[in-house]
Chain A
Amino acid sequence: MTTTTSTAPARRRDRDPGQGAVTGRLPWVLLVPALLGLGFLVLPLAGLLVRAPWSTLGTRLAEPQVLEALRLSLVTATLATAVCLLLGVPLAWLLARVTFPGRRLVRALVTVPLVLPPVVGGVALLLVFGRRGLAGQWLEAAFGITLPFTTVGVVVAEAFVAMPFLVISVEGALRAADQRFEEAAATLGASRLVIFRRVTLPLVAPGIVAGAVLCWARALGEFGATITFAGNFPGRTQTMPLAVYLALETEPEAAIVLSLVLLAVSVIILAGLRDRWVTAP
């Protein structure tokens, strides 16, 4: 395929972002839309900052349910990311490395949660894992496990919505990776599992980290599927986005504070991760 010619320069670009050899006048055709795009993404954030009730910020943040919701959000998003890594990386490998009939269809199906309105995703989860759902009925009868209205349910909802982000980026990384290393390992007698573990995984590690970061961010902001599938109860299933939505009903200022907390925490974590992992060699 195209791997031998196209991946080498692409990888070099990854390594030195912003230090390309091409210099000269910046073309307006690209610069203007780029700045417009940046403004479009950042302005709403500025709106939140401007309208934030700074004088009462301290007292609002000290409210126990804020910290409770934040803790729950961080824990569930991290657990959901772990679930996605465990299931999503092998799934991405399957899609990128194994030829099987219907692969295109499977790839399209994997992206369904991206297209589905999250609330519909939540209803779909209820129909499968709910008390009267196809699998849920059996889970309750056999193990006495019910997922809706539990913290585990939050993790399930978040993982469902966030997994495609991981699968797509890992699959992309796998397709861009130089397959000659894997071929060499195979000629030296390594089994497929050993190749996956010793060659493929280290090779696509940056792609996996990038995918995990995206996946985590999506899980952290998850609202629709969570409130539909897991409901809303403080300390058990009320994550930050749910707390923000309900605060908006009565106290828009409290909602702004909660949004800022969520944004600050996620920006700090994502910025820290990007420097350390995502752009690293």
Chain B
Amino acid sequence: MFRRLSRWAAALPLALVLAGAAGCGSSDPAASAGASAGGTTTVTVFAAASLTGTFTELGKAFETANPGTTVRFNFGSSATLAQQITQGAPADVFAAASPATMKTVTDASLAAAPTTFVRNKLVIAVPTDNPAKVDELKDLTDPKVKVALCAEQVPCGAAAVKALDAAGLTVKPVTLEQDVKATLTKVELGEVDAALVYKTDVIASGGKVQGITFPEADKAINDYPIATLAKAPAGDLAKRFVDLVLSQQGKDVLTKAGFEAP
């Protein structure tokens, strides 16, 4: 009896997985069908991971200002999001962390005329006790200082290379992380002595790391473009969300988080 029970118990996770997969499969078509039927009440926004805090706040403001609407977010690496959009993901708005990733989408004629809405600057992030006594960019070239950078394939890595080139410095990092949050985590845990991340990430970490500004960062400013997508299921509502981001209210939320006006 017990053996039979345990056999069923073993099958349970599989059943749950299948049920979960079936649930995922059915929810998306239903959502897009609702939108195309005229009841355009949901705006789906694909946004760079670094916008998580600010856009969530703006999404709530949008829902309050437009009763009955819902804003759904898909936050992630801009490059991944761009690929999801070109592969046909049902999105209304795309906010990218770099012009290059936005270009993937505009090149596929899936969006037109993106607007730069904010800019983000790199800073040196160090653990709160700053064990390697880093206070300028040149200190990162010291072989005793363990440095983490973003991989060159992601926007923060490209910006880091640009800033170091502008300063004429060569840094030997111990790791090239897959995104800016992973880079920041290495600093938070004290595994590295310094990293180049965005100013907004340091502010969002809430004091777990210390940010040091450096003049060469001005040479590697990252522009964030936003655009409504050509096939936006939400139509006009998508444009209204972009308008909110570009409005004074949007600017206030974004600058408070450390972004700079374009």
Chain A residues with CB under 8 Å of chain B are: 123, 126-127, 130-132, 148-149, 227-228, 230-234, 237-238, 242, 245-250, 252
Smallest beta-carbon distance A133→chain B, Å: 9
Q: Which residues of A contact B77 (CB under 8 A)?
A: 249
B182 close to A227 (CB less than 8 A): yes
A248 to B87 alpha-carbon distance, docked (Å): 14
A246 close to B178 (CB less than 8 A): yes
B174 close to A149 (CB less than 8 A): yes
B176 close to A233 (CB less than 8 A): yes
Contact among A123, A130, A234 with B190 in the assembled complex (CB-CB below 8 Å): A130
A248 to B153 alpha-carbon distance, docked (Å): 9
Q: Which residues of A contact B176 (CB under 8 A)?
A: 231-234, 238, 246
A127 to B185 alpha-carbon distance, docked (Å): 12
Q: Which residue of B lies closest to A245 (CB)?
A: B178
Smallest beta-carbon distance A55→chain B, Å: 21
Q: Which 10 A-B pairs have the closest CB atoms?
A: A231-B175, A249-B153, A149-B174, A249-B79, A132-B190, A250-B153, A246-B153, A232-B176, A246-B151, A148-B191
A130 close to B191 (CB less than 8 A): yes
Q: Which residues of A contact B189 (CB under 8 A)?
A: 123, 126-127, 130, 132
Chain A to chain B contacts (Cβ below 8 Å), 19 pairs: A130-B190, A130-B191, A131-B191, A132-B189, A132-B190, A148-B174, A148-B191, A227-B182, A230-B175, A231-B174, A232-B176, A234-B176, A238-B176, A242-B178, A246-B151, A246-B176, A248-B80, A249-B151, A250-B79
A252 to B104 alpha-carbon distance, docked (Å): 12
Contact among A126, A130, A232, A252 with B177 in the assembled complex (CB-CB below 8 Å): A232
A131 to B175 alpha-carbon distance, docked (Å): 15
Q: Which residues of B contact A227 (CB under 8 A)?
A: 177-178, 182
Contact among B79, B83, B146, B151 with A232 in the assembled complex (CB-CB below 8 Å): B151
Q: A126-B189, A238-B176 are in contact. List 7 more A-B contacts (CB 8 A).
A: A131-B190, A227-B182, A231-B174, A231-B176, A231-B177, A246-B153, A247-B153
A interface footprint on B180-216 (CB within 8 Å = 1, 0 otherwise): 0010011001110000000000000000000000000
Q: Which residue of B lies closest to A228 (CB)?
A: B182
Smallest beta-carbon distance B181→chain A, Å: 11
Smallest beta-carbon distance B21→chain A, Å: 11
A127 to B153 alpha-carbon distance, docked (Å): 28
A232 close to B178 (CB less than 8 A): yes
Smallest beta-carbon distance A118→chain B, Å: 13
Q: Which residues of A contact B186 (CB under 8 A)?
A: 231
A193 to B193 alpha-carbon distance, docked (Å): 48
Is B154 engaged at the interface, CB distance under 8 Å to the other chain? yes
Smallest beta-carbon distance A65→chain B, Å: 12
Q: Which residues of B contact A252 (CB under 8 A)?
A: 83
Chain B residues with CB under 8 Å of chain A are: 77, 79-80, 83, 146, 148, 151, 153-154, 173-178, 182, 185-186, 189-191
Q: Which residue of B lies closest to A223 (CB)?
A: B178
A249 close to B190 (CB less than 8 A): no
Q: Which residues of A contact B191 (CB under 8 A)?
A: 126, 130-132, 148-149
Smallest beta-carbon distance A266→chain B, Å: 22
Q: Which residues of A contact B190 (CB under 8 A)?
A: 130-132
A247 to B83 alpha-carbon distance, docked (Å): 13
Smallest beta-carbon distance A172→chain B, Å: 13
Q: Which residues of B contact A245 (CB under 8 A)?
A: 178
Q: Which residues of B contact A149 (CB under 8 A)?
A: 146, 174-175, 191
A246 to B151 alpha-carbon distance, docked (Å): 8
Smallest beta-carbon distance B71→chain A, Å: 26
Smallest beta-carbon distance A179→chain B, Å: 20
Q: Which residues of B contact A228 (CB under 8 A)?
A: 182
Smallest beta-carbon distance B72→chain A, Å: 24
Q: Which residues of A contact B146 (CB under 8 A)?
A: 149
Q: Which residue of A lies closest to B174 (CB)?
A: A149
Q: Which residues of B contact A148 (CB under 8 A)?
A: 174, 191
Q: Which residue of B lies closest to A230 (CB)?
A: B175
Smallest beta-carbon distance A182→chain B, Å: 25
Smallest beta-carbon distance B210→chain A, Å: 16
A233 close to B153 (CB less than 8 A): no
Q: Which residues of A contact B182 (CB under 8 A)?
A: 227-228
Interface-central residue, B77, B186, B189, B190, by most chain A CB under 10 Å: B189
A269 to B39 alpha-carbon distance, docked (Å): 55
Q: Given A246-B151, A246-B153: A233 and B178 within 8 A (CB)?
A: no
Q: Which residue of A lies closest to B175 (CB)?
A: A231
Q: Which residue of B lies closest to A231 (CB)?
A: B175
B175 close to A233 (CB less than 8 A): yes
Q: Which residues of B contact A250 (CB under 8 A)?
A: 79, 153
A164 to B205 alpha-carbon distance, docked (Å): 35
A197 to B106 alpha-carbon distance, docked (Å): 66
Q: Which residues of A contact B175 (CB under 8 A)?
A: 149, 230-233, 237
Smallest beta-carbon distance A63→chain B, Å: 15
A95 to B22 alpha-carbon distance, docked (Å): 38
